[in-house]
Structure 1
Amino acid sequence: MPRPFRINILKLDPFLLALIATVGLASLLPCRGQFAAGMEWITDAGIVLLFFLHGARLSREAIIAGLGAWRIHILTLAATFVLFPAIGLALRALSHGWLNPAIADGLLFLCLLPSTVQSSIAFTSIARGNVPAAVCSASASNVLGIFITPVLVGLFLMSGSRGGFAADSLLSIVLQLLLPFVLGHFSRPRTDKFISKHKSILGKVDRTTILLVVYTAFSAAVIEGLWHKYSVGDLAWTFALNGAILALVLFITRWTAKRVGLPIEDEIAVVFCGSKKSLASGVPMASVLFPPVLLGPMVLPLMLFHQMQLMVCAVLAQRYGERPSN
């Protein structure tokens, strides 16, 4: 029913509330000293476990099922790793003098991230789109993002005063992201049944890890004076620019899919897989790529974008799904 659907969309995601509460806790009671060191160790362990599970969840059967839809995959990857970064770079270039540089960097980091998997597939299904192709495109984006995002961050965000893309950053990426992911994927013969049986529990690992990273990130940023540098006006700009980026990408992906003559089911997969950014991958990646003092400003735009993309895409999926059947 349309009316109950709209009411549900306007409800805040419980995870968003948990993120807000975590930021509030870090602002009032930031972790310091030995406690902060312990939290960083726990967070690093959580990131390793998170990417191990990402690899273990990646089904080869799902990949094979959608491999034939190559035009969908090209458009999705182009949106994720070409269109989004171009928008982020253009925004940062045009923002000098009127936008807080921390916001511009955070928005650019958001634009360099891979797409989501679960929500892209879920919205494609609701919209009656090409689900096998969406599974393949979203999974490919997420996997390739483990390689591509750090390279893009090294090119566009880790320069000048940040000292470039250092060898220790590369080692952290390999040990905390790539190696656990590969080991997780090759563990599937032994872990597949357990993961399938405990999906709800394993889903909580994702969210718990993100909350740990957010708490440690914002603790370090608060100690360094985050809220003195990031005003209410800055938050308003972040929200407005997030909305503009999402609207522009949704328009371009839909327009491009129509221009190349994709059927409506394939268009839907391109729109939903190409327009989103992954909070589950982005926050842990930021923890590996950036020093603690930069993490808060880097992930704040992503946290806002996460909720915005869910609400907007839920409405769009419902409208696609209400079209007449052929």
Structure 2
Amino acid sequence: MASIRDTLKKAGLNTFFFLLIAMIFLAKFFPYWGTADSPLPLKAITGAGISFIFFFYGVKLSPQKLKEGLLNWKLHLVVQSTTFLVFPLVVLFFYALFGEEGNYLWLGTFYLAALPSTVSSSVVMVSIAGGNLPAAIFNASISSMVGIFITPVWMDVMLPETAVSFDLTDTFIKLSLQVLFPVIIGLFLHARLIGFVNKHQTALKNFDQGIILLIVFTAFAESFAEDMFAGYNTWELMVLGTFMLAFFGLMLALMYYISRGLKFSRADTITVMFCGSKKSLVQGAVMGRVMFPDPVVFGIILLPLMVYHALQLMAGSALAQSMGEKKGG
């Protein structure tokens, strides 16, 4: 039984993954509890939780390591460019060929493309595959902060073509108050609180995941309550999953050949591949909650990101394991 659990975990199918799926089913059968009319103050809880998540994220950042990381500027430039420039441009290319104006799944796909990279899973996979770990930590950290500004700008470019209202200035203000300022405060308190954070890593991780689960539940509950998924059948969702898997593979290949073209070392190439191809469900959920105030629409916009998140964990973990074994051999 333990070996089965270990195998599933290596493939990215951990407890959190199954809880995410469970939240969708709960939202489907009990949508009322996730709506604005619910007696439970879930919106207030998630709002406060988001600020706590990013405060402790700031505490985890080491100012010294961030300074040291600036030296490998060429690698950092490639990772950030692939994350925030290549990704959205690839989606825009496919949207020009196959996109439907006003289709929220396409909007959700562009949203995931504009998001920053993950932190924990990127670093873990780079470590397993034998990549440049300090560079991975630096890029994942910087990506999260840069995304607070770049993601809303990309969405402002895309959203005028849709029916979703979007105020860029208001979004910057809200994200600064809820995300950026807590990160900065946490960064300044790094020396004082890092011991506490290290001691309670498991509890803080569980807290982070709990808030994300609440965000996913409320987003899908509102969408199910308004019957927003009525126009999407099983076939379309299967096509979405296939497209997301192909998308992940395409981005990995692009980053591999870009790194080869720039004559990066094997370790740096691995860092580009895993940091540049990953997208953050955490920031996608918390930033989307601010940028898409209509929770009915947000549930659909979040769907491509959730599918991509699951696939990047499964496919990415398998690839990292394979690359790590080749290095060891």
- TM-score greater than 0.5 by the shorter chain: yes
Map of 2:243 onto structure 1: 241
CA RMSD of aligned residues (A): 2.2
Map of 1:78 onto structure 2: 81
Q: Report the CA distance shift for 1:38/1:268 in structure 2 as closer, same or farther (over 3 A).
A: same
- CA shift for structure 1 position 236: 1.1
1:39 aligns with 2:42: yes
Q: Report the CA distance shift for 1:284/1:259 in structure 2 as closer, same or farther (over 3 A).
A: same
Aligned mates of 2:85, 2:79 — CA distance in 1: 10
2:41 partner amino acid: G
Aligned mates of 1:296, 1:134 — CA distance in 2: 31
Q: Residue by residue, what CA displacement relative to the aligned partner does 1:272-326 show, whole Å, maximum 9, x if unpaired?
A: 1111001111111111110211111111111111111111111221222223569
Q: Residue by residue, what CA displacement relative to the aligned partner does 1:215-239 show, whole Å, maximum 9, x if unpaired?
A: 1111111111122122212211210
1:309 partner amino acid: Q
Map of 2:163 onto structure 1: 161
Percent sequence identity over matched residues?
Answer: 35
CA contact (8 A) 1:65 1:133 kept: no
1:302 aligns with 2:320: no
- Equivalent in 52, 60, 64 of residue 61 of structure 1: 64
Written as runs of structure 1 = structure 2, the 5 A alignment for 1:83-122 is 83-96=86-99, 101-122=103-124
Aligned mates of 2:300, 2:111 — CA distance in 1: 10
Aligned mates of 1:302, 1:324 — CA distance in 2: 31
Q: Report the CA distance shift for 1:185/1:36 in structure 2 as closer, same or farther (over 3 A).
A: farther
Deviating more after overlay: 78-87 vs 187-196: 187-196
Aligned mates of 1:211, 1:40 — CA distance in 2: 12
Written as runs of structure 1 = structure 2, the 5 A alignment for 1:133-282 is 133-157=135-159, 161-282=163-284
- CA shift for structure 1 position 37: 7.3
Written as runs of structure 1 = structure 2, the 5 A alignment for 1:3-22 is 8-10=9-11, 12-22=13-23
Deviating more after overlay: 132-141 vs 11-20: 11-20
Q: Report the CA distance shift for 1:100/1:231 in structure 2 as closer, same or farther (over 3 A).
A: farther
Aligned mates of 1:161, 1:298 — CA distance in 2: 13
Q: Report the CA distance shift for 1:33/1:123 in structure 2 as closer, same or farther (over 3 A).
A: closer
1:27 aligns with 2:41: no
Aligned mates of 1:325, 1:228 — CA distance in 2: 50
CA contact (8 A) 2:11 2:315 kept: no
Aligned mates of 1:189, 1:50 — CA distance in 2: 18
Aligned mates of 1:101, 1:163 — CA distance in 2: 15
* Runs of 4 or more above 6 Å deviation: none
2:125 partner amino acid: F
1:277 partner amino acid: K
CA contact (8 A) 1:100 1:234 kept: no
Deviating more after overlay: 158-167 vs 100-109: 158-167
Q: Where does the alignment leave 5 or more consecutive residues of structure 2 unmatched?
A: none
CA contact (8 A) 2:12 2:313 kept: no
Q: Where does the alignment leave 5 or more consecutive residues of structure 1 unmatched?
A: none
Aligned mates of 2:63, 2:236 — CA distance in 1: 43
- CA shift for structure 1 position 6: 5.8
Aligned mates of 2:12, 2:76 — CA distance in 1: 32
Q: Residue by residue, what CA displacement relative to the aligned partner does 1:129-151 show, whole Å, maximum 9, x if unpaired?
A: 11111111111111111121122
- CA shift for structure 1 position 42: 1.2
Please report the TM-score for the alignment, with normalisation by the length of structure 2.
0.91
Aligned mates of 1:324, 1:152 — CA distance in 2: 38
Map of 2:317 onto structure 1: 314
Aligned mates of 2:125, 2:104 — CA distance in 1: 32
2:298 partner amino acid: L
CA contact (8 A) 1:57 1:195 kept: yes
Deviating more after overlay: 77-86 vs 55-64: 55-64
- CA shift for structure 1 position 164: 3.8
1:292 aligns with 2:303: no
- CA shift for structure 1 position 177: 1.6
Task: Provide the aligned length of Structure 1 versus Structure 2.
Answer: 323
Deviating more after overlay: 265-274 vs 154-163: 154-163
Q: Report the CA distance shift for 1:152/1:36 in structure 2 as closer, same or farther (over 3 A).
A: farther
- CA shift for structure 1 position 7: 6.1
Aligned mates of 2:61, 2:69 — CA distance in 1: 13
- CA shift for structure 1 position 178: 1.6
